[in-house]
Amino acid sequence: MSTSSEYRFSFGPWNIHEGADPFGPPVRPTVEFQRKLEVYKQLGFDAVQLHDDDAVADLENKSWNDAQQEAKALRSTLDSAGLVAEFVAPRLWESDLGVDGGYTANDPQCRAWAIERSKKAIDIAHLMGTDLIVLWLAREGTYIRESKNAAQAYDYIIEAINEMLEYNPAIRIAIEPKPNEPMDQAYVPTIGHALAIAERTSAPHRVGGLIETAHAQLAGLDPSDEMAFALGAGKLWSVHLNDQNGLKYDQDKSFGSVDLRGAFNQVRALEAARYSESGCYIGLDVKAMRTERGPMSTKHLANSKATFEMLVDKARSFPEEKARELIEAREYESLDHLVISHLLGQTVSTKQTSHDNATQVA
Binding site for ligand GLO (CB under 6 A): 89, 134, 136, 176, 178, 212, 240, 250, 285
Give the span between the Cα atoms of 127 and 179, in whole angstroms.
Answer: 32
- Find the Cα–Cα–Cα–Cα dihedral 327, 329, 333, 335, rounded to 10°: -30
What are all long-range contacts of 269-275, with beta carbons under 8 Å and residues at least 24 apart?
269/224, 269/225, 269/227, 269/228, 269/231, 270/227, 270/231, 270/239, 271/312, 271/315, 271/316, 272/228, 272/231, 273/228, 273/231, 273/232, 273/236, 275/7, 275/231, 275/236
Q: What's at 264, amino acid-wise?
A: F
- Our finding on whether 212 is near Mg ion (CB under 5 A) is yes
Q: Among ligand GLO, Mg ion, none, what does residue 52 contact (CB within 5–8 Å per kind)?
A: none
Count of beta carbons in the 10 Å neighbourhood of residue 232:
11
Compare residues 252 and 309 and give the one whose CB is closer to ligand GLO.
252
- Taking the C-alpha atoms of residue 227 and residue 214, their distance in angstroms, rounded to an integer, is 12
Phi and psi, residue 208, nearest 5°: -135, -145
Residue with Cβ nearer ligand GLO (12 or 262) = 12
Three-class SS of residue 69?
helix
In terms of CB distance, is 173 or 311 closer to ligand GLO?
A: 173
User: Smallest distance, Å, CB 135 to ligand GLO?
Assistant: 7
Q: Which does 148 bind (CB under 5 to 8 A by kind): ligand GLO, Mg ion, none?
A: none
Query: Whole-number minimum distance, CB 240 to Mg ion, in Å?
Result: 4
36 binds, among ligand GLO, Mg ion, none (CB under 5 to 8 A by kind): none
- Name the nearest CA neighbour of 104 among 164, 168, 165, 151: 151
CB within 8 Å of 304: residues ≥ 6 apart: 241, 242, 254, 255, 256, 284, 286
- Shortest distance (Å) from residue 253 CB to ligand GLO: 13
Smallest separation (angstroms) from Mg ion to the CB of 328:
39
- The CA-atom distances, in angstroms, between 13 and each of 51, 63, 178, 251 are 9, 24, 20, 17
Min. distance of Cβ 85 from Mg ion in angstroms? 16
> Which is nearer to ligand GLO, 134 or 311 (by Cβ)?
134
134 binds, among Mg ion, ligand GLO, none (CB under 5 to 8 A by kind): ligand GLO
Which partner in ligand GLO, Mg ion, none is near 178 (CB below 5 to 8 A by kind)? ligand GLO
Part of the chain binding Mg ion (CB under 5 A), chosen from 55-63, 67-75, 278-286, 307-315: 278-286
Interacting stretch for Mg ion, rule CB under 5 A, among 96-104, 160-168, 283-291, 334-342? 283-291
Of 243, 285, 325, 331, which lies in the binding site for Mg ion, with binding defined by CB under 5 A?
A: 285
Residue closer to Mg ion, measured from CB, 240 or 337: 240
The correct pick among 193, 240, 268, 305 for binding Mg ion (CB under 5 A) is: 240
How near is the Cβ of 50 to Mg ion at its closest, in Å?
A: 13
- Say whether residue 287 binds Mg ion (CB under 5 A): no
Question: Does residue 54 have an active-site annotation?
Answer: yes
Which lies closer to Mg ion via its Cβ, residue 54 or residue 285?
285
Say if residues 348 and 362 touch (Cβ distance below 8 Å): yes
The DSSP annotation for 115-133 comes to HHHHHHHHHHHHHHT--EE
Of 17, 21, 46, 51, the active-site residue reads 51
CB nearer Mg ion, residue 114 or residue 210: 210
DSSP secondary-structure letter at 47?
A: E
Q: Is 225 a catalytic residue?
A: no
Closest CA to 175 of 127, 124, 220, 138: 138
Q: In a 10 Å sphere around its CB, with 0-12 CB exposed, 13-18 middle and 19+ buried, how is residue 362 labelled?
A: exposed
The stretch near Mg ion (CB under 5 A) out of 158-166, 284-292, 305-313, 329-337 is 284-292
Choose the catalytic residue: 53, 54, 123, 285. 54
Residues forming the active site? 51, 54
Q: Which residues of the chain form contacts with Mg ion (CB under 5 A)? A: 212, 240, 285
